[in-house]
């Protein structure tokens, strides 16, 4: 099994403007061998996600990727940018039998 190549877009706070708004700097990182899974479509007010977040895709990051927090990040897949939900952490607890150890849910907030 082989994954696909995606782009992660990280943002870092670099200061504040005179009005107190945050100034962000972005950086992009290419990650290879990512498994991409389409998620089920659901009503945004269903019992599973009452806050109205719709999971558009789930990606599985490879162990070879040096972990860093994905809070506030985006993932570009086939030219579409998806927002990372939460701050996912890698699997722990010993050996797992695959090359992937981090599951990341992505939201699509377009229309």
Kindly report the CATH number assigned to the domain that includes residue 33.
2.40.10
- Candidates 102, 100, 101; CA nearest to 86 is 102
- What is the total count of domains within the chain? 1
pLDDT attached to residue 74: 96
Q: What is the pLDDT of residues 70-97, one digit of tens each?
A: 999 999 999 999 999 999 999 876 666 7
| pTM for this model (two decimals) | 0.79
pLDDT-above-70 percentage for the chain? 79
94 vs 58: which has the higher pLDDT? 58
Where b means 16+ CB within 10 Å and e means fewer, 88-97 reads beeeeeeeee
Boundaries of domain holding 40: 4-14+23-107
Decide if 72 contacts 104 (C-beta within 8 A). Answer: no
Give Cα separations from 82 to 20, 55, 57, 74, 77 (angstroms): 27, 10, 8, 5, 8
Terminal-to-terminal C-alpha distance of the chain: 33
**What confidence score (pLDDT) does residue 48 get?**
54
Q: Is 8 exposed, middle or buried (0-12, 13-18, 19+ CB in 10 A)?
A: buried
pLDDT at position 1, please?
A: 80
Specify the pLDDT at position 27: 95
Residue 56: predicted pLDDT: 86
Structure confidence at residue 108 (pLDDT): 83
Average pLDDT over residues 36-42: 74
**Mean predicted confidence (pLDDT) in 45-65:** 74
What pLDDT is stored for residue 98 in this prediction? 80
What is residue 111's DSSP assignment? -
């Amino acid at each position: 099994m082989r994954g696909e190549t995606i782009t992660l877009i990280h943002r870092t706070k670099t200061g504040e403007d005179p009005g107190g708004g945050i100034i962000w700097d972005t950086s992009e990182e290419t990650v290879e061998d990512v498994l991409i899974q389409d998620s089920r479509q659901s009503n945004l007010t269903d019992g599973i996600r009452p806050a109205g977040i719709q999971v558009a895709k789930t990606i599985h990051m490879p162990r070879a990727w040096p972990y860093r927090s994905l809070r506030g990040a985006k993932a570009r897949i086939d030219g579409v940018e998806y927002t990372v939900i939460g701050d996912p952490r890698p699997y722990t607890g010993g050996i797992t039998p695959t090359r992937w150890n981090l599951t990341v849910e992505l939201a699509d907030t377009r229309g």
